[in-house]
Amino acid sequence: MKKDAGTMFMVPKLLRKVKAGAALAVMAGLLAGAGAGLAHAQASYSEADYVGSWHLMFQGKAFATLTIQKQGTELSGSLTGVSIEMDDNGKLTNATANNGPASTLHAAMEDGVLHVSEKDGDDVIEWTMTLTSAKTGELRFARGVPANAEAIRLEKLWSEPPVQN
């Protein structure tokens, strides 16, 4: 398979190349039956709780960085280059960084969930980000993968940019 400067997502019987920036983080290991409880718990988080830098985790190791920013009333962000592979059942089988450029993401809150999108040529890649605590979360593909696809685990690095002297 040819890798380019962007992000590559491999989903069942479909290879998707995405020009993605920082890291794409999707939480792994959430129980499939926890969705209703998570949706209820999610309502207590605000836009401000999502702002910051997040590591995307696979097998206990960070492989990418997702940054969410708020400028005025708008949420946006960036994602580092990443390659994610899933089997036909939606289980993550591989997740690694690549040297792709950072991409610009658009984000909006809806019903306590952050909806993140990125335009790649004619395609729009969409994810949902939910928080499981103030410092952990999940990133899931919103479409194009099996409905029960495993989430990518997110770990928050910081909420405010580091102070520069």
Q: Quick one: tokens of 11?
A: 């989903």
Model pLDDT, residue 59: 96
- Distance between CA 64 and CA 154 in Å, rounded? 10
> Which regions in the chain score pLDDT beneath 70?
1-43, 161-165
Mean pLDDT for the chain?
Answer: 76
Classify strands 82-86 and 74-79 as parallel, antiparallel or unpaired: unpaired
Cβ-proximal residues to 7 (8 Å cutoff; 6+ apart), any chain: 17, 18, 19, 20, 24, 79, 81, 82, 83, 98, 100, 103
- Distance between CA 123 and CA 22 in Å, rounded? 19
Model pLDDT, residue 165: 61
DSSP structure class, residue 87: -
pTM: 0.72
Model pLDDT, residue 162: 60
The domain 7-158 is classified under which CATH number: 2.40.128, 3.40.50, 2.20.25, 2.60.120?
A: 2.40.128
DSSP structure class, residue 89: T
Q: Cα–Cα–Cα angle for 116, 58, 7, nearest 5°?
A: 50
